[in-house]
Structure 1
Amino acid sequence: MTTFQNVLGTAALIALFLLPTLVGFARERRIDRELRAAERARSDEPPRTADAAQPVTATRRPYLRSWARI
């Protein structure tokens, strides 16, 4: 009977250590599938306009409550 308990305890410890790894692996595969699907959907749609290729620039505004009055 103690041999069975030893085997059962060892299997439980192995499962305890492997479970987070397997869950993480499954999550990574799901994220990879979603990224591949998004990339396929992105490549299927035509470009919208010529303006879409230009980067968006923003002007930097100083922090209004700054001690350095700019």
Structure 2
Amino acid sequence: MNGNQIEALIGMLVTFGLLVLMVLPSVIGAVRDRRVDRQIREAQEGRTGEEVPQKSSSRSTVPSTATWYAEGRRSKKLVSS
């Protein structure tokens, strides 16, 4: 091999290496997406076989402090206007 052939080989290897570095993240993402899709599909298939009714709470619901504060602010605005 002479100098020109070695330079061409190095150039091709560098170009191939850059191509791999650019394509690798998208390939990894596609493989990950397929794995997540498979896990979701398996979870849905497992869930459709067992339907468990939700239990309602016997405890009464109390509005949170944020709801109470917002209600008070709204009523004051209506009275003052």
TM surpasses 0.5: yes
1:48 aligns with 2:52: yes
Q: CA deviation at 1:53?
A: 8.7
Secondary structure of 2:65's aligned partner? coil
Aligned length, in residue pairs: 60
What are structure 1's unaligned runs of at least 5 residues? Answer: none
1:28 aligns with 2:33: yes
The structure in which a higher percent of residues are helix is 2
Structure with the greater relative contact order (CA < 8 A, sep ≥ 6): 1 or 2? Answer: 1
Q: CA deviation at 1:61?
A: 1.1
Match of 2:42 in 1: 37
Match of 2:64 in 1: 61
Q: CA deviation at 1:59?
A: 3.9
Which one has a bigger Cα radius of gyration? Answer: 2
Structure 1's consecutive aligned runs of 4 or more residues displaced over 3 angstroms after TM superposition are none
- Paired residue for 1:7, among 9, 12, 26? 12
User: RMSD value over aligned CA atoms?
Assistant: 2.4
